[in-house]
Amino acid sequence: MTSRPQPEQQAPPVQWLRIRYARRGRARFTSHRDFGRAFERALRRARVPMAYSSGFSPHPRISYANASPTGSASEAEYVEIGLAEQCDPEQVRASLDEALPIGLDIVAVQVAPGDTLADLLTASRWRIDVVGIEPVVAERAVETFLARESVEVSRMTKSGLRTFDARGAVLQLRYEPGRLISTIAHQVPLVRPDDLLSALAEVEPDWRPTHPPLLTRLSQGRLDSTTGEITPPL
């Protein structure tokens, strides 16, 4: 019996770049899988010299981290890419931004400092635009929610209906005219902004928006538990 030939071993990346990108406008309806396909096409069109994994099915060295839910806009999504050649980060930013569809915008690119991206993303700050909620109702809902030790919500997952506490992950929450601003820690299970809205409806019977909310991630990064500030990884 002839042994199967071993696949060619690929050289390790000579440079890692950390990329911050935004999902704006209609692009907020792009799923994480759809973005991945668009991003790989953009890398080819921009002729970015990607490094590849070894094995029988080599794939480009791309590391995604904590993508926002489909349907939400974001100003702070992150991905890292491994390159086979040294490249100027600003040139990569401009080329990728031009190659991506409208609404998927490359905000910044820098040489990755060597730390693990996922470990730097411990919290996010969200803006939740709500329509049809009277200010007195919104303020009462926020006050009641923050006063609770826990608020259970349910969400359908791939494994079925799951019930979990939405209160513990919400570190900050305030109401501004027409919107909520919230800082949410990244825990397991991950509490999303729509879970927070479900929790507000649980504690406030009059919480009945007239239109679907618009969710926008304003920032994400490492949370300072003392100050409540979020330090972005880029």
Nearest by Cα to 47 from 12, 90, 9, 83: 83
pLDDT of residue 43: 98
pLDDT digits (tens, 9 = 90+) for 8-19: 777 889 999 999
pLDDT of residue 1: 47
Task: Give a three-class secondary structure readout of the chain.
Answer: CCCCCCCCCCCCCCEEEEEEEEECHHHHHCCHHHHHHHHHHHHHHCCCCECECCCCCCCECEEEECCCCCCCEEEEEEEEEEECCCCCHHHHHHHHHHHCCCCEEEEEEEECCCCCHHHHCCEEEEEEECCCCCHHHHHHHHHHHHHCCCCEEEEEECCEEEEEECCCCEEEEEEECCEEEEEEECCCCCCCHHHHHHHHHHHCCCCCCCCCCEEEEEEEEEECCCCCCEECCC
pLDDT of residue 102: 96
pLDDT of residue 199: 98
| Whether pLDDT at 2 is above 60 | no
| Whether pLDDT at 234 is above 90 | no
Please, what are the domains in the chain? 15-119 (3.30.70.580), 121-231 (3.30.70)
Beta bridge partners of 176: 179
Nearest by Cα to 61 from 117, 141, 104: 117
- Residues 118-126: what's their mean pLDDT? 95
Global pTM reads 0.91
pLDDT digits (tens, 9 = 90+) for 101-111: 999 999 999 99
Nearest by Cα to 200 from 150, 144, 157: 144
pLDDT of residue 4: 63
pLDDT of residue 5: 66
pLDDT digits (tens, 9 = 90+) for 81-102: 999 999 999 999 999 999 999 9
pLDDT digits (tens, 9 = 90+) for 199-219: 999 999 999 999 999 999 999
- Residues 31-46: what's their mean pLDDT? 96
